[in-house]
Each structure stands twice: as structure tokens, then as C-alpha cells.
A and B are shown apart, each in its own frame.
Chain A
């Protein structure tokens, strides 16, 4: 830029406000630290506090807690009584996510609220991205059409990716990479923790596949369409209903069940939680064994993700081997 003459005092005055704005911008740029992929991250907050990691479900929180070094706070803020996939956080809760140093999303369309929320992309990791070429659908897709744009579908994405232990491990590896970017000085401990987690998840995978292999290609039922990845990983043929564990089956439900059984004569039914005794009786009358398989989207009252999944694997194995499940 050519130098221009002018009243010195006026230019100084002119310079101050524009120079102030430039300084703020430069300070903002200087504040950019290491990024998740080498790209600069925008600062989440100022002041001395431990780095925070926010997740959209419990499995990711578990992986982060297993891998994170001391001093990293892992937060999963959804209330325990709601399904995190359908939780609608308040603006304040979204604000907490915005201020986090790292936000772990599941991917595959999990946590519907993230589609319409404003989250800082620079601190966002979609853990399941890249772990599969395409994600599964639930099978009950309803497309609709209005105007000239043609069909599009709203529902039908299957998102419980962590029930496939290999996908879970892939997600955990993304968590590991993100934590190393967040706390590079703790890379060694994170890697060590990851090795231990890998071992645990691999063992779980083996147990689940073993239980599934014992069942072969026999049909299986599920109370809700949340076991797609488990079925896909373990080769299980699962058809889903929409039965709630805490609600009694209506005559229509039973009618639908019987219709389903005609084409899909299952002898085992996976439930997210223990159904009512009457429901269990109704299923028992039809020769169906109830197997509680908790998807572990929320933290358990006792134990952790590993103990829950281990219990799931044990119960599945018992059922598929025709043994009495504990």
C-alpha cells in the first residue's frame, strides 16, 4: 500500500479504532492452538480449567474415560431417564457442548439434536465416520414427496454402531486420536490405555460372535430396531417390533407378533430391559426366550460399559446354547 500524506493527528485517530479491531483479530488468531487434524482449533474458553470432553452417549463417554489422561474431564450431560438418541438439550446444555474442548459425536445419524444444533466444527469429531462405507438402515423407512424435488426419507437410520465391537473399536481409535491432539504430552498413556481397551473390546467381540455362531441363521426377534449392527457383525437374523419393556402388550401387539412369527419363527427375543412378567409369559407361551441385551446408551446403575456388554454376551450365549441364563 502506497504511503499517503495527511494530518498526522487525524491519521493517528483514524488508526486507533481500525488498528484495535485488527489487534483483536490477530489475538484471536494467535489464540488458535493445536487442532484435531493439524488444522487450528478455535478456543473453547479462557481461563485455567481442565480440558473437557463432551459426548452424546455413554459408550463414547466410557471410551473417553478409559483413554483420557488425568485432568481431562469427560462429560455426558443427558439425563439418565431419556434416550440420548432422542434427547433434546436446552440451549444452556448446547452451550456447554460449545464450550467443550472436544465434542465426540457418534455418527450414523445418532443424536438427532446434533443435526440442528450449532456446534464448533473445529472441535467436533464424528467417531463413526470412516469406520464403514455405508451405515445401516432400520428397515422401516417412510419416504415422502412434496413439490418438485422428489422423494426423500426422514427416518430409518440405524445408529447403535457400538454394538458391533469392531465398529466400537474404530470409534475408540478416533477418540484416541482426538485425545492425543488435545493432550499431546499424554500420548504415551493414551496409547497404553487404548491397548487395554482394545483387548477388552476384542474379547467381547469374540464372545458375542461365539454366541451368535452357536445360534446360526435361526431367526431372532428384538423389542426395538436397535440391534442392526450387532446382527450385521454377528450374522444374526433379527426382526424388530416396537415393544416397550415397561408396558404391557396390547392385543394388537400380540396379533402383530403372531403375524411376524409366522414368517419369522424366532425362539429368542432381545430386550433392552427386562419386560413385564406378563409380557415374558406371553412370549414364553410362544416358546420365545427373553434375553436382556442392554444397548448401554446410558450409564448403568452398577458397573460400566464393559460389565454391561459382558453381561449381554453371557446372556446371549446362554440363550443361544439353550442354557438357563443367569
Chain B
């Protein structure tokens, strides 16, 4: 057997180009179903894990899938917003903890997620460096954000402007990175977390500026008893610092400020049932179980995968047949070699062994390569695959 493998290896090595082509085609033939299966499993399992770890999600009535995708995976879907009053309402029931989520914004191409401290404990997110959010204007970044942008505590980070060419749009807010998180192998690794109030500032619902009550005349358009009106020279701060944090304020009633969704963590199963009962007839809002929504998405992925598998296996069969044809033609061209082997005393079985060793080496290499690619996809492609599915959902 050793001699057969040796001769087979020498032959394949000598005809490298042909061997490489055959191995690659076999790898694709063998690997594609494996990779597809791995991708599907990764997507379904990781999507499901995230959804299952989120008991309930409250959002505006509309597409439940969009709500889940935006709130859990931070992919902007343009969903209608709730208000902070909805979170207060949930808290007031005494049945659940309401974790506010404000999404849809970006910070240097990464999702900006406004939330509360409770979110970090809920998701089990641990600090790698620095500390937790303490005040307005600070951010804590996921592991992938830190690695990609090379950021650490103390570094600044800009939010992305909401409109590029709209002069009346919201300008970037300069955030302060105060902490980085350990990898959690999910969407949180790619997120920039801020206090929900900071998110509101970033989208223009709050701001800070010079004190009009005491400001000099060149920024005051008009001053009467009890009211001062600022003009266009009034400096609005694009960064929240210790010196100006007290000047930051919000317009209107804070309870009317927007939330994209609210993660609802019931005290127990009974509380969860009671809560769902309260919202079942709500015409403006929906309280859903993300796991149920993702199950539907997974079922679609599974159906799509089955169709793809049929196509892949058909193409694969053609590839296999071509491989067989190439091998048969190759052996025919080596008829002289086979005759020489026979004349020198080589049995037919030995000849088959030698030829078979060539097939074995090529198929074996392809199997290893296919398994390797499947492993890589499964191990490192989770986030990429999630985004691939969620961006298109």
C-alpha cells in the first residue's frame, strides 16, 4: 500500500496543474453541501440563540421580523418608534424589567445602540478594558469595533451624521470611549453602546449650548423678561465634556422621546403571560416572543436551503461524472505504463491499487479541504453570515 501511495503521489505531484484542478472541483463538489449545511446551521443556531435569550420584545405594530432584526441584531429597518413612556408603563406593571433600545443610528459604520445599564447584565456582557457607561457622551464598544478601529478607553469616536448633505441635519457627536467589551460572538461585538439619552442627543433630540441667560449680546437675538432668544451664532456643542455636560438638555417631555424597541424581561412565566395578555389587543403596539419570529425565519432559510441542496447535488453529480471521465481518459493515455507494469510482473489488482491511490489522494485532499472550509465558515463566519441574512431580510 505504501508503494502504491508513493507512486500515486509522485504522479499527482508531477502533473500538478491537472491534480489541482481536479482537487478543486472535487472540493467544491464535496464542500459546497457541507458549507451550505454549516452556513445554515450557524445562521439558524446563532439567530435562534439570540432570539431565545430575549424573552419578550415590545415595539410598534408592524413587521415583527423587522422589529426583531433591528432590536436584536441592530440592523436598521426603519421601524416606527415607541416612546420612553412605554418603557415606564412596563416598569409600572411590576411584572417585568423594561430595557430601552434606541437603534437605527451609526457610529463610524457600526450600529449605535442607546440602552440602559441593565442591558449589559441582561446579555452577560463583560468588560475587557475600562469601565461601564457613567455619564452622557460616553460609549462602550464591542470587541469587534475595538479591534477594527483600534480603539481603547480614552479614545474619541464620532457618530455618523444622519444626513450628509442636509444643512439642517444632525451633526456628528463626538463620543468618549470609556470601555471595551469582551467578545460575546454575537451582534454585541459590532455595536457601540451609549446611554439612551446620549442616543437622543446624537439624533438631535437633545443638545447643549452656551447659557443664553448669561451669554453676551452677540448670540442673543432678543431678550425680554424671562425669555432669551438665541441667534445663529449660538454655539451648540458637538462634544459632551465635564465642562459643558450641565448645559445639555432635551426639548419637550422626556417621556415622549423615541425608543426603537423595549426588551421586556418578565419576573417569571406567569408575569410574562399576564403581560402578553395586556398587549394582545393593543392596536398600536406588539409584544412578541423573538424566538417565535426567528423560528419562522429559520423555516424559510431551511426551505431555501433544501432547494439549493438539490441544485448543488445535481451540479455535484455532473462534476463527479466529469472527474470519472477525466480519470478514465487519463488511464487510457497511460496504457503503455500499464502494459509495462504488467510485463514487469505487476498484478491487475496492484495496478488498480496504484490507480486507486491516485483517486484516494485527490478525494482525500478534497474532503480535508472541504471540511476545513466548512470549519472556517462555521467558526469565523457567524457574524458575516448573520449580517448576510439579516441585511436581506
A contact set with B: CB distance below 8 Å? 1-2, 4-7, 10-11, 13-15, 17-22, 24-29, 31-32, 35, 37-43, 88, 91, 94-95, 98, 112-113, 116-122, 141-147, 149-152, 154-155
Complex Cα gap A54–B298 (Å): 46
Task: Produce 1/0 per residue, B294-306, CB < 8 A to A.
Answer: 0100110010000
**At the interface, yes or no: B227 with Cβ under 8 Å from chain A?**
yes
CB nearest neighbor in B for A25: B53
Contacts of B184 in A (CB 8 A): 21, 24
A-side contacts of B92, CB under 8 Å: 37
With an 8 A cutoff between CB atoms, is B257 at the interface?
A: no
Q: Which among B9-17, B93-101, B282-290, B347-355 touches the partner chain?
A: B93-101
Interface centre among B38, B271, B298 (most CB of A within 10 A): B38
Instruction: Point out the residues of chain B lying under 8 angstroms from A25, CB to CB.
Output: 49, 53, 122-124
Nearest CB of B to A259, in Å: 16
Provide the bound-state CA to CA distance between A321 and B231, in Å. 53
Q: Does B178 sit within 8 A of A, measured CB to CB?
A: yes
Please give, as numbers and ranges, the residues of chain B lying within 8 Å of A38 by CB-CB distance. Answer: 94-95, 267, 271
**Which residues from chain A contact B42 at a C-beta distance below 8 Å?**
14, 18
A17 proximity list for chain B (CB < 8 A): 185, 379, 382
Decide: A2 near B302, CB < 8 A? Known: A10-B374, A10-B375: yes
> In the bound complex, how far is the Cα of B245 from the Cα of A197, in angstroms?
38
Question: Do B53 and A118 touch across chains, with their CB atoms under 8 A apart?
Answer: no
Shortest A8–chain B CB gap in Å is 11
Residues of A within 8 A of B123 (CB): 25, 28
In the assembled complex, how far is the CB of residue A95 from the closest CB belonging to chain B, in whole angstroms?
6
Majority SS at the chain A contact face: mixed
One of B91, B230, B240, B245 near A37 (C-beta < 8 A): B91
Cβ-based interface call for B321 (8 A) = no
Closest to A37 in B: B94
- Determine the distance from Cα of A26 to Cα of B50 in the docked complex, in whole angstroms: 11
Q: Are B271 and A146 in touch, CB under 8 angstroms?
A: no
Whether B132 contacts A95 by the Cβ 8 Å rule is yes
Residue-wise interface mask of B (327-341) relative to A, using a CB-CB cutoff of 8 A (1 in contact, 0 not): 000000000000000
Decide if B45 is an interface residue (CB 8 Å cutoff): yes
B359 in contact (CB, < 8 A): no
Are B131's CB and A91's CB within 8 A? yes
Q: Which residues of A contact B212 (CB under 8 A)?
A: 142, 144, 146
Given the interface contacts A14-B41, A17-B382, A39-B94, does A121 sit within 8 Å of B124 by beta carbon?
no
Shortest CB–CB separation between residue B387 and chain A, in angstroms? 16
Is B61 close to A, CB under 8 A? no
B314 at the interface (CB under 8 A from A): no
